[in-house]
Chains A and B, each alone.
Chain A
Amino acid sequence: MTTTVFAALDFGPVWEMRSELLSGIGTMALVSVVSFAIAIVGGLVLAGMRQSRSLPISWAGFVLIQVLRGIALYVLLLWLFFGLAAQGGFQFEPIPAGIFALALLNSAYLAEIFRAGYEAVPPGQKEAALACGLPKRTWFGKIHLPQVTQITLPAMGNVFVDIIKDTSILSAIGVAELLRESQRWAQFYELPFEFYTAAAAIYIAIVTLVTFGWRRLERRFSRHLHTAPRVRRSRGLLFGIGGRPSTTTAS
């Protein structure tokens, strides 16, 4: 039975359209990386505002974060792309609109992640650094920031993965990313199952690759938690699957 079902499938056109799909992947990659980079900067700014000693700035940061967290990406996209233009305002190009929306919303998430990471470093670290006569900027650069980075990297990786998947929503305003391309050729060939299956497989593959790459980055920043760092690192990507750093020792 199953064989007849699969016999009806025709992945030939998917293969023929590979360069179109590949260009969709390229757009997805560009949009994700640029949005993520901008979101990191935005997140640092928002987190900085929240930490500010000035009450108005801190409140402004709080309100901004709450507002951004309350908007759905889809809604923001339509508002930016169609809404603003209809008011005689500003007509975005699709890709900049998508990047702007993704960066804006995710900067709010990252701000919360950064803030939590900032507070997760034990206060004793600062006391010890100051007691060693380190100036504040050295404490921040050499003691605080590396630990905040290590703490926040896993959550940052999740945001990056979300951004990658959310680029698919940009198809709604006509950005020719992977889903939009798949949609187009699915309709053209009337092979929705084949094209959407291919799209799903590509999303899974890319997210998997990014996850493993990110894990290597996390490793680099948590060297000090590995009891035998050299052995683990030389094993490369695939063998590292089960090798989450162990943090069994309480301190």
Chain B
Amino acid sequence: MSASTSSLLELRQVTKQFGETTVLHPTDLQVERGEVVCVIGPSGSGKSTLLRCVNFIAPPTTGTIVFDGEEYRPPKDHRWIPALGIPEEQRLTRLRTQVGMVFQQFNVFPHLTVRENVALGLRKTCGLGKKAADARAVEELGKVGMAEKAAAYPEQLSGGQKQRVAIARALALEPKLMLFDEATSALDPELVGGVLQIMRDLAAGGMTMMVVTHEMRFAMDVADRVIFMDRGGIVEQGTPEQFKSPQHERTRAFLKSINHG
């Protein structure tokens, strides 16, 4: 609890393996409070995996994550006595509520109304009653311009509207860190701008964010720092200004490929 607590997030030698394959090689990373970090890189380079580690959805295989001063190390696997894993699971659940995540495929809950999508997390994690949670949900939906659709089911919404609901659902829990994993990649072109605008506003409001994106204009405008990943590791990072003349050949090749894509 000393100097390192000033960073909101710190990864130390974090790795992720699935069985035999290493998807994330030992990675160090610090994210300061209020910082917006954009993560770019080719498909399959481990960007989503990195976010999933940070969000504790897929906790790292080895290494340490310090989030808001709380240190997390992967525990032993309790395959023989699963009950031993329960305190660990509860801890992960608590950590996850402090990190919001928005997905490429929206992942709204199709069988719940827009309001219920947002209210469910409020009831289960903030201990709000049904009435209070519903009211808070509608309020959060209002912030992304979706209050009128509170009673609709996701089926009736456009992709952009679904993504707004997903953003409201994450923001309702007042996370300290927001993660966006290609939040606009599945949207029709005319719907991208609206969602990006919400993200810009969020950044301007001081939210700490990690954003995986292929929207280089957005990254250049909004990011305090850009990270380039390739083959399961961070290759290069720097300010958007520095990324105008990248150091590494792989970065140059990637930027070239998406500019001409």
Question: Does any Cβ of A come within 8 Å of B259's Cβ?
Answer: no
CB atoms of A224 and B155 under 8 A apart = yes
CB atoms of B107 and A128 under 8 A apart = yes
Closest to B118 in A: A132
Question: Does any Cβ of A come within 8 Å of B124's Cβ?
Answer: yes
Q: Which residues of chain A are near B155, meaning CB under 8 Å?
A: 224-225, 227, 249, 251
Among A223, A249, A251, the most chain B Cβ lie within 10 Å of the Cβ of A251
CB atoms of A224 and B110 under 8 A apart = yes
Question: Bound complex: CA of A38 vs CA of B195, how far in Å?
Answer: 49
Known contacts: A223-B153, A224-B155. The answer to whether A133 contacts B105 by CB under 8 A is no
Of the residues B89, B106, B110, B173, contact of A132 by C-beta under 8 Å: B173
| One of B93-101, B142-150, B205-213, B249-257 at the interface | B93-101
CB atoms of B99 and A143 under 8 A apart = no
Q: Which residues of chain B are near A124, meaning CB under 8 Å?
A: 103, 105, 107
Q: Which B residues between 168 and 191 are near A, CB-CB below 8 angstroms?
A: 169-170, 173
Question: Bound complex: CA of A227 vs CA of B94, how far in Å?
Answer: 37
CB atoms of A131 and B124 under 8 A apart = no
Question: Bound complex: CA of A147 vs CA of B120, how far in Å?
Answer: 16
Known contacts: A223-B153, A227-B156. The answer to whether A132 contacts B111 by CB under 8 A is no
Q: Total interface residues on B, using CB and 8 Å?
A: 36
Chain A proximity of B119: nearest CB distance (Å) = 11
Question: Does any Cβ of A come within 8 Å of B166's Cβ?
Answer: yes
CB atoms of B169 and A132 under 8 A apart = yes
Question: Bound complex: CA of A129 vs CA of B92, how far in Å?
Answer: 13
Chain A proximity of B186: nearest CB distance (Å) = 9
Q: Which residues of chain A are near B156, meaning CB under 8 Å?
A: 227
Q: Which B residues between 125 and 177 are near A, CB-CB below 8 angstroms?
A: 125, 153-156, 162, 166, 169-170, 173
Q: Which residues of chain A are near B154, meaning CB under 8 Å?
A: 224, 251
Chain B proximity of A152: nearest CB distance (Å) = 14
Question: Does any Cβ of B come within 8 Å of A208's Cβ?
Answer: no
8 pairs, A vs B, C-beta closer than 8 Å:
A128-B109, A130-B57, A132-B124, A133-B96, A134-B93, A134-B121, A224-B110, A224-B154
Residue numbers of A with Cβ under 8 A of B are 53, 122, 124-125, 127-136, 138, 142-143, 146-147, 150, 221, 223-225, 227, 249, 251
Residue numbers of B with Cβ under 8 A of A are 52, 55, 57, 79, 89-90, 93-94, 96-97, 99-101, 103, 105-113, 120-121, 124-125, 153-156, 162, 166, 169-170, 173
